[in-house]
């Protein structure tokens, strides 16, 4: 599987796909079926964020989708000030609708790419990045975004990531894709497995945990924690 092919989806193409898939992603039973240990990772990163900074006041959810990660975070720390960022306006509308009923604080929506979004620095206690960073492309993209996320956090704030990842060794990346294909075939069908892997081939450019933690250290994060990994999905965190 060549995840580094040149002919990747554009930002607009990715936006269009998610514009048309709001209801599925609003339901953990349907929107996360292709993610191994989705609910485990969701629980781990939100509970870990609560324990890292129990008196958090402000939350940024990048690539928020329909708001699942923010809703889970609010179940841990109620009434956070929430900023929801996503490319898709329909996703943002759905996330706002769901989140506003779960907090008495401000909920702000930002329709933007994290690379170009105008956001306040030294402001957020928690940043959630659930299944979003794999849409970044080259090394410049990756390094820029990690530096930006570091700047957006308050001192002692935390960046919580749950995402698709690769390995640093090509034969092991190939092996993890094979394991993932088998997993998808068993939980749904061979056809579904081929469809999901085709989406990854077209849309995504995931990187290894080692690569991302290297960039986190380079950006200034003082502590980095690997929280969970299963085949090609992982949950990890950085503390400013």
pLDDT per residue over 211-223, tens digit each?
A: 999 999 999 999 9
Q: CA–CA separation, 225 vs 239, rounded Å?
A: 8
Domains in the chain with CATH codes: 11-239 (3.40.50.150)
Q: CA–CA separation, 47 vs 17, rounded Å?
A: 30
Left, alpha or beta for 38 (phi > 0: left; psi -120 to 50: alpha)?
Answer: alpha
pLDDT at 8: 77
pLDDT per residue over 86-116, tens digit each?
A: 999 999 999 999 999 999 999 999 999 999 9
Question: Is residue 5 predicted with pLDDT exceeding 60?
Answer: no
What is the mean predicted confidence (pLDDT) over 33-47? 92
pLDDT per residue over 59-70, tens digit each?
A: 999 999 999 999
pLDDT at 16: 65
pLDDT at 4: 47
State what percent of residues in the chain have pLDDT above 70. Answer: 89
- Separation in Å, CA 178 to CA 25, 46, 132, 185: 25, 29, 22, 11
Measure CA 145 to chain center: 13
Q: What is the band of 6 on the pLDDT scale with cuts at 50, 70, 90?
A: low
Q: CA–CA separation, 205 vs 11, rounded Å?
A: 13
Query: Strand 81-86 and strand 107-111: pairing?
Result: parallel
pLDDT at 22: 60
State the chain's mean pLDDT as an integer.
Answer: 91
Residues 6+ apart with CB under 8 A from 68: 25, 26, 28, 31, 32, 42, 130
pLDDT per residue over 162-188, tens digit each?
A: 999 999 999 999 999 999 999 999 999
Q: CA–CA separation, 80 vs 45, rounded Å?
A: 16
Q: What is the 3-state secondary structure (H, E, C) of the chain?
A: CCCCCCCCCCHHHHHHHHHCCHHHHCCHHHHCCCCCCHHHHHHHHHHHHHHHCCCCCEEEEECCCCCHHHHHHHHHCCCCEEEEEECCHHHHHHHHHHHHHHCCCCEEEEECCCCCCCCCCCCEEEEEEECCHHHCCCHHHHHHHHHHHHHHEEEEEEEEEEEECECCCHHHHHHHHHHHHHHHHHHCCHHHHHHHHHHHHHHCCCCEHHHHHHHHHHHCCCEEEEEEEECCEEEEEEEC
Question: Do 92 and 118 form a contact (C-beta atoms < 8 A)?
Answer: no
pLDDT per residue over 123-155, tens digit each?
A: 999 999 999 999 999 999 999 999 999 999 999
Q: What is the band of 10 on the pLDDT scale with cuts at 50, 70, 90?
A: confident
Give burial (CB, 10 Å; 0-12/13-18/19+) of 47: middle
């Amino acid at each position: 599987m060549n995840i580094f092919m040149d002919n990747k989806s554009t930002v607009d193409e990715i936006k269009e796909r998610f514009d048309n898939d709001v209801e599925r992603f609003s339901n953990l039973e349907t929107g996360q079926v292709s993610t191994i240990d989705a609910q485990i990772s969701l629980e781990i990163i939100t509970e870990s964020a609560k324990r890292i900074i129990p008196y958090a006041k402000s939350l940024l959810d990048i690539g928020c989708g329909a708001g699942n990660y923010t809703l889970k975070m609010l179940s841990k720390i109620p009434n956070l000030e929430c900023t929801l960022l996503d490319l898709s306006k329909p996703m943002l509308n759905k996330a706002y609708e769901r989140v506003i009923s779960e907090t008495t604080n401000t909920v702000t929506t930002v329709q933007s790419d994290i690379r170009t979004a105008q956001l306040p620095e030294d402001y957020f206690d928690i940043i959630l990045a659930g299944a979003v960073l794999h849409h970044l492309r080259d090394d410049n993209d990756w390094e820029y975004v990690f530096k930006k996320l570091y700047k957006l956090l308050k001192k002692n704030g935390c960046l919580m990531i749950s995402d698709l990842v690769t390995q640093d060794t090509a034969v092991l990346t190939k092996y993890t894709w094979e394991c993932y294909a088998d997993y998808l075939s068993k939980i749904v069908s061979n056809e579904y497995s081929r469809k999901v892997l085709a989406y990854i081939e077209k849309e995504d450019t995931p990187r290894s945990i080692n690569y991302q933690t290297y960039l986190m250290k380079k950006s200034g994060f003082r502590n980095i924690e690997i929280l969970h990994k299963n085949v090609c999905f992982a949950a990890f965190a950085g503390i400013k």
